[in-house]
Every structure is written in C-alpha cells, then in structure tokens.
Amino acid sequence: MRILIAGLFHETHTFLDGLTTLSDFQIRRGEELWASKGDSSPLGGVLQLADEFGWQMIPTADYRAQPSVTVADDVIEQFWNDIAPAAAKADYDAIYLVLHGAMVSQTVLDVEGEILRRLRTLTSVPIFGVFDLHANFSPQMAALADCLVGYRENPHTDAREAGLIAARLLNRCLTTGQRPHMQLLQPGLNWPPTGTGTANDPMLTLEAMARQFEGDSLWAMNIVAGFSFADTPDTGVSFVACTTADSTQPLEALGKCAHELTHLGQITDPPADEVLSQLKPLPAGLTVLVEPSDNIGGGAPGDCTGLLRALIRHGIPNAAICINDPQSVSEIEAGARTLKLGGKGSRLDPGPLEIEVELIALNDGRFELEDKNSHLASMCGDVFDMGRCAVVRHAGLTILITSVKTPPFDLGQWHSQGILIENLSVVAVKAAVAHRRAYDKIAARMLWVDTPGPCSSNLKMLPYRHLQTAK
C-alpha cells in the first residue's frame, strides 16, 4: 500500500497580536521527513510502524510551530503548494495526516477543514490521521476525513501512541475494506485549559466512558477538550466518533455527562499575592507555582512579569522562574547587568521589570528531553533548543532567561542549565496542565495562581466574535 503523509501542527491563540509566519515554522519537505522516523513525535511513530505494515510512504511536507498568534495566510498556501502535486497524482491508496486541529489563519478560521476540503477535490481515498486533544473540531473536518484519532491524555503523554492507533485503524481499513465515517457532537461547552486535565473530571469520566463505547463498529471515540483561546465558530468541547454504524446514542450520552460535569471544567485561579502570602514561612519540599495566564503551551509569550513581580514583592527565597527574553540575553552577553526584563509580548502585562542581576552562567540552550513521552516530545521529538540562555540571580531568585520560549514540560530545561530545581523551595512554571507529567514527581505541592496575561482561566475576559453559542 502507498500512503501519502503530511503534517500541519499549530495551536493558534487568536486574541494575541501579530502573525505567525513561515520563519516561525520548522519545515521539512519530501525526504527530509524521514529524519523524524522513530523519534517521539506522532510522525516519527507512524513512519516507523509503516515498515511493519509494508507500506510505501510518500512524504510530502511537515510544518510545525509552537502555539502562538494567528498564522499568516501564505503559510497555508505554501503548505498546500508543497503537498498538492503529490496529492494530485492517483498513485496512492490513502492519506495520513498529523494535525493539531486548532489552527487559524488570517482569513481561514478552520485551517484543517480547509486543507481537507482541498484534498477532497483531488482524491476520494481514505483519509486517516491524528490530532491534538485541544482541537476545535469542525463539521467540515468530520465530513471530509474518514477517521482522525485524538490524543487521550492531558498532559499529552500519548501523542505518539495516538498516532499509532490511527495508523493501525488505517491498516484495518485497507486490509478489510471497511471504511468508517465520523460523527460529531458539539455540546456547546467551553473550558479553559486548566479544566481539561485528564486526571480530573470532567475529562477523567468522559475519557473512561469513551473507552467503554469503543467496539467492533465504533473504531474510536474522541473526547476533544477544545482550545478556548481561539475565536472560531467551533471553539469548545466536542465528541467525535469514528464508526461504521450510527453512533448517535453514545455521543448523546457523552454530551449529557459533559453538561452535568461542566462546572468542574470551569476553573478559576486565586490571585498570586493571595497564594504567596500563604507560603510564609515556606513549607518543606518543593512548591510549584503554576501561572496559566502566561501558559506557553497555550500560545502566551512566556515573558509576562506578574508572577516574577510577586515573587520579588514577597521576598520568596530559594526560588526560580523562567522568562523568555532574547533581548535581555543579548544585553547580558554584551555586559549589561541592569535589565528591563520581560513584559514585551502581551499588552495585558504591566511591561518590562527593571532589575539588577548577578550573572551565573551563559549557555547554549539545546537539550535532549529527559522524558521522551512528555507533552514536549509530541511537538519536537527528542530535542528542544531554547536558543542562547542566561542564568541570573536577583534578591535570592534564580531567573533562567531564554531566547526561544520553551514550554515547561521537561526537567531537562533546567538541568541543562545547571539548575537543580528539586533542591529549591519554589519554582514557577508558565503552564496550565501539561507541565504535570514532569513536575508531579518532584513537587510537594502545586498551586495555581492568577496574574495578568493572555491565557487566563477566566474566559469571560475574552472578546469572542465568532463563537456561535453562549459557551
């Protein structure tokens, strides 16, 4: 069997200013895709599994970028130009796509649906693939693909495995001749990322129900948490069945359960000052302070200063925080020790914080992931590059300053810079849920805090225009 394969991966935060351009994407074309074979990404897993099935893979293009602002239209057109010539040929048996599912461009609110629409003008072969649990799944996606399988864990420790599940289902389709279709239910609910962890309800119960529904005719049931920071008609929770029969009944059962549990997905976080005032005296063990409003995994800039200011204001000792600020790294390399740190990436932040720092180290920021099943592995494979990094200290606070914003999903981020956070009293992470795979095993306690920033759990702050229902 000949399988055309392509990847398009970006989670788009539409409430941030600016554009994500071609230069922000890691792009591999044609034979370059083989570099991913066997790594920890979904693409790497599928390319490896293809050998077992005896598939001949036709690699086209793989575009990946970190979660960030609205994508420029020319990215979509360039991606299409890269895959269309191969897709226009009638020399393959199926298509396999590695998607995110919450990508928005300047003029296209449903990028994945648009790519599927264009593919369907060229071919009628089965289209299978994998997508992120935080997709905003559209009716167009459900109508035009045969079977897309979502991640089932948040943090996304199973991204590679979800890709393999989808590949095995494609093999089932090709060997049996059975061809599933997708049924979609959108219950009209919208939860912030902090309310979508699969270790807790509502996602815990919904995922358990989904697995019980799967069987002979229901090939896969997807619990899709949605990405609340994208303003589209399809933003929010959805349920997607890949089935050869009518799956209305299990879909409606999931919708009913989601409404009953929706209050557990509507998370709000206490103010940072309130939380920090309760940490005096500091309790034993490591306290992880989680700052969802600057969640890098949700597209935030990773340079907001709300929690940084609070740590300094409360005089929290033996603590660490990471700030993304390439300008400050360059200034430190040039000899500066007074910085206007952070506060450059979001209008919601009070702005740069001027501080005096002591330089501890300047390092290269490339590191190998310590956990190859982490959420970060689903994005980058086995290695991540933070760019040039500076480790500085201010008033007892260790600050890791990166040149490339780095989701805090792997402890190698700190260890590669000589920072043993296990020995600290407090560490701040700019995340919502996906950090837990790394930090749960070293934390004595984990506390979420609210600060000014674009990924606040309070969704009432967001000026939705395209959301079709009152979610």
- Percentage, residues of the chain above pLDDT 90: 94
Kindly report whether the global pTM for this prediction surpasses the value 0.85. yes
Closest to 101 measured CA to CA, from 67, 53, 57, 133: 133
pLDDT recorded at residue 461: 82
**Whether pLDDT at 345 is above 90:** yes
pLDDT recorded at residue 376: 85
| Cα separation, 430 vs 348, whole angstroms | 15
Of the pLDDT bands very low, low, confident and very high (cuts 50, 70, 90), residue 470 is very low
**Whether pLDDT at 4 is above 70:** yes
Among 207-216, 305-314, 368-377, 380-389, the range scoring the smallest mean pLDDT is 368-377
Q: Residues 409-424: what's their mean pLDDT?
A: 97
| Cα separation, 359 vs 313, whole angstroms | 21
pLDDT recorded at residue 469: 61
pLDDT recorded at residue 444: 98
Could you tell me which residues are beta bridge partners of residue 426? 287, 319
Q: Residues 171-178: what's their mean pLDDT?
A: 98
**Whether pLDDT at 327 is above 80:** yes
pLDDT recorded at residue 68: 95
Of the pLDDT bands very low, low, confident and very high (cuts 50, 70, 90), residue 471 is very low
CB 377 within 8 A of CB 395: no
| Cα separation, 13 vs 454, whole angstroms | 9
Q: Residues 36-55: what's their mean pLDDT?
A: 95
- Percentage, residues of the chain above pLDDT 70: 99
**Whether pLDDT at 62 is above 70:** yes
Edge-to-edge, what's the strand order for the sheet holding 445-448? Answer: 358-363, 389-394, 397-402, 319-324, 426-429, 287-290, 445-448
Q: Which residue has the tokens 């896969």?
A: 220
| Cα separation, 257 vs 322, whole angstroms | 39
Q: What is the pLDDT of residues 360-387, one digit of tens each?
A: 999 999 999 999 888 788 778 899 999 9
**Whether pLDDT at 355 is above 90:** yes
C-alpha pair distances (Å), 26 with each of 10, 37, 247, 384, 422: 11, 16, 38, 12, 32
Concatenated DSSP letters of 215-229: SSSEEEEEEE---TT
Q: Residues 58-83: what's their mean pLDDT?
A: 97
Average pLDDT of the chain, as a whole number: 96
CB 83 within 8 A of CB 6: yes
Q: Residues 233-243: what's their mean pLDDT?
A: 98
Two structure tokens written together for 286: 């490591």
Among 41-45, 95-99, 380-384, the range scoring the smallest mean pLDDT is 380-384
Q: Residues 290-311: what's their mean pLDDT?
A: 97
Closest to 453 measured CA to CA, from 462, 445, 466, 444: 462
